[in-house]
Amino acid sequence: MTNRLPTADLPNMAAALRAERAEMLNFTSSLTDDEWTAPSAAAGWRIADVVAHIGATARSFYTPAGLRTIFAASLEQVNEDPVDRRRDWSRAKVMAEYQRTGRRATTLLDVVRRTPAARVRVPLAELGRHTMGLMIGGALVFDHHTHLRHDMAPALGRPVPPTDADRMRAVLTWMIAVLSNQVAQTPVAGLDARVALTLTGPGGGTWWIDEAGGLAPSNGAVAAHVTAPALTFPDWGTQRSSWRDSDVTVTGDTELASRFLDAVNVI
């Protein structure tokens, strides 16, 4: 995340994390044993594996194991290893770890956000550097939101749990921060002319993207404007679906916008 983006609202991030944890506990408590072991929409992972992944991720923020994530070349591979080690765990053991590590990570965020440590920039594999408060809160809120609503509920044919503007704002803050770093690391040709991204609805807003990453809108022109519902961004913005098949509208330089959108893959 660059300094050109607004500072993350960490009190909202902490509240969003508590709300998402409650949503996950409510959802998982209603699952049958067959649903618990059913395939999720995340390739190769059962519903149980998704929950185990989130619990392991929360644990990584306050244990030495987290150092592997900081210096890893691939976040996806780092995510696979803890899941593999937990595949034989009982449902009770997975849920006990999820609840324990989630509580501790939430407490850590509540402490960190009140100290200068919240502004310390920390690397996170290929996702670049992020301030510590944003990394703890943003990554976990994003993980909860995206896995629950796009990998778990749809795979089981269950209604997608509701969300709200505050939680979506936290999700989008993290996604834009990651996207900003990704663009800066691998610039899209022609992006010096700037693309505006507007996400409408709960938690939405407008961001500008140029070859150096994301920035808050200001005076000046943009070459293209991309508009989409905020609720759809965690789906196509992670390449779970194609932006071309989603409710995405492009005006202006459509070729530049298409190159940019093809590159969007927040993990």
Q: Are residues 68 and 144 in the same domain?
A: yes
Q: Are residues 237 and 195 in the same domain?
A: yes
Domain that holds residue 30: 10-164
**Alpha carbon distance 243, 258 (integer Å):** 9
The enclosing domain of 209 has a CATH number of 3.30.1050.10
pLDDT of res. 125: 82
Q: Are residues 136 and 36 in the same domain?
A: yes
Burial class (CB in 10 A: 0-12, 13-18, 19+), 115: exposed
pLDDT of res. 126: 81
pLDDT of res. 263: 97
Q: Are residues 154 and 38 in the same domain?
A: yes
pLDDT of res. 259: 98
Does residue 171 lie within any of the structural domains? no
Number of H helices, E strands in the chain: 10, 7
Give 49-97 pLDDT, tens digit per residue.
Answer: 999 999 999 999 999 877 777 777 777 778 899 999 999 999 999 999 9
Burial class (CB in 10 A: 0-12, 13-18, 19+), 108: middle
Q: Are residues 148 and 184 in the same domain?
A: no
Q: Are residues 150 and 67 in the same domain?
A: yes
Indicate the residue among 164, 188, 222 that finishes a domain: 164
Tell me which residues of the chain have a pLDDT lower than 50. 1-2
Does residue 160 lie within any of the structural domains? yes
Give the DSSP per-residue string, 169-193.
HHHHHHHHHHHHHHHHHSPPTTGGG
- Which tokens go with 79? 């995510």
User: For residues 57 and 45, is the Cβ–Cβ distance under 8 A?
Assistant: no
Does residue 3 lie within any of the structural domains? no
The enclosing domain of 132 has a CATH number of 1.20.120.450
Q: What domain count does the chain have?
A: 2
pLDDT of res. 2: 46
Does residue 174 lie within any of the structural domains? no
Q: Are residues 94 and 203 in the same domain?
A: no
Give the torsion sign (CA, 137, 142, 143, 148).
Answer: positive
Does residue 169 lie within any of the structural domains? no
